[in-house]
Each structure stands twice: as C-alpha cells, then as structure tokens.
C-alpha cells in the first residue's frame, strides 16, 4: 500500500518526509491555505530525495500552467481536483505524458464507479475538508483502476482505512497540528501503514 502526504509547503516538511520516506508527496497549486507557487515548489523539490514522487494538485487550471510545471521538473504526477471533464483529461494526457489522478467527491454510491480515462481515482469527501465520507460505500467499488483514499484520515482511523485496501492512503490535515505538518503524526501514520501491509 502506497502513502501520500499532501499539502507540503515548508522546508521543514521536506526534511520530515526525507526521513520518513512516503511514496508520494503533494504540492498544492490551487487556492488553499496550503497553496504554493512554482518558485517555492521548485525550491522544495530540489531538497527532496529522489525516491519520493511529487504529485501536483490542480483545480480547473489552464493546461499550459500544468505543462510549464512539468517542464520545470517539479512534479511526477498530476492530480485534478476540480470539474475537469474527460476531454480536458485526454488533452492533458496527450500534452504531458505523466500519470493523472482524478479526484472525485463521494456523496453517494453513484460516485464510486465513475468511469474516467485518468490513471488513478482519488476518493475524497471534498478538497481540504478534513472529513471522512461514508467508507462503507467502497464495498460497491468493482473497477480495476487503483484508487487513493483521502479525506479525514488520521491517527484515530488509519487502521480502518488500511482494511479497505486502497492503492494508496492520502493524508494532509490528519498529520497536522494547528495547520502545520507534525513529524510525529506523519511518523505514526506511515509506520502504521508499513507495519500492517506488505
């Protein structure tokens, strides 16, 4: 099971993940309290060890901006967290040629098996809400496409999240204290996942 720590914005955050070694980290390039600009992302990427892949989070962004960030060597994957349709995703795939994650807000069973040409799905309760959706809905999931599980995952429910066996677990606010990434919370989540999965 893979691990993604999202919303990194400080040099200290990079020091933390370089030690803890999650599989992915996320840089947010969209309006958010965790938003960073290209210059800062470039600086942080330079400090990151090579084994950790960077996911760029975008919300209805112009395709040219995404391509520019890829050309700078900042991100390895794209996460689309807005209203991007399949035509947009196809254009991004053709232009950028790196894996795409499409985030879907889960409100009911109909949201679980939406077809997309993206490489991965990310199931969330809503970008940055810090709340869980009804995970029991995932029992209806029957597609082969691997998915990221996000939204409200923290120390208190990580064991239940692991039992759902997603491709990756994605945490952000659940490893923060007062809005700042917390090394001990990150360590707990990562070690718990690694100890309970192959």
124 belongs to the catalytic site: yes
Choose, from 6, 96, 132, 170, the residue flagged as catalytic: 6
Q: Are 41 and 53 in contact (CB under 8 A)?
A: no
Choose, from 13, 124, 132, 170, the residue flagged as catalytic: 124
Cα separation, 111 vs 94, in Å, equals 26
Nearby residues of 161 by Cβ (< 8 Å), 6 or more positions away: 135, 149, 153, 169
| Residue 87 DSSP class | H
Cα separation, 53 vs 49, in Å, equals 9
Task: Give me the active site residues, please.
Answer: 6, 124
């Amino acid at each position: 099971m893979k691990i993604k720590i999202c919303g990194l914005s400080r040099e200290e955050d990079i020091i933390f993940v370089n030690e803890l070694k999650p599989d992915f980290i996320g840089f947010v390039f969209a309006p958010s309290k965790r938003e960073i600009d290209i210059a800062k992302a470039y600086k942080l990427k330079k400090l990151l060890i090579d084994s950790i892949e960077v996911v760029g989070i975008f919300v209805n962004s112009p395709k040219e901006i995404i391509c520019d960030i890829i050309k700078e060597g900042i991100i390895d994957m794209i996460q689309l967290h807005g209203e991007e349709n399949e035509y947009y995703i196809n254009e991004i795939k053709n232009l950028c040629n790196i894996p795409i994650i499409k985030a879907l807000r889960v409100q009911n069973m109909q949201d679980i098996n939406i077809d997309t040409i993206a490489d991965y799905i990310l199931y969330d309760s809503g970008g940055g809400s810090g709340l869980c959706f009804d995970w029991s809905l995932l029992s209806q999931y029957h597609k082969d496409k691997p998915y990221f599980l996000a939204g409200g995952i923290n120390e208190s429910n990580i064991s239940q999240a692991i039992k759902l066996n997603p491709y990756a677990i994605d945490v952000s606010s659940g490893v923060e204290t007062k809005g700042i990434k917390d090394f001990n919370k990150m360590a707990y989540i990562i070690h718990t996942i690694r100890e309970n999965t192959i």
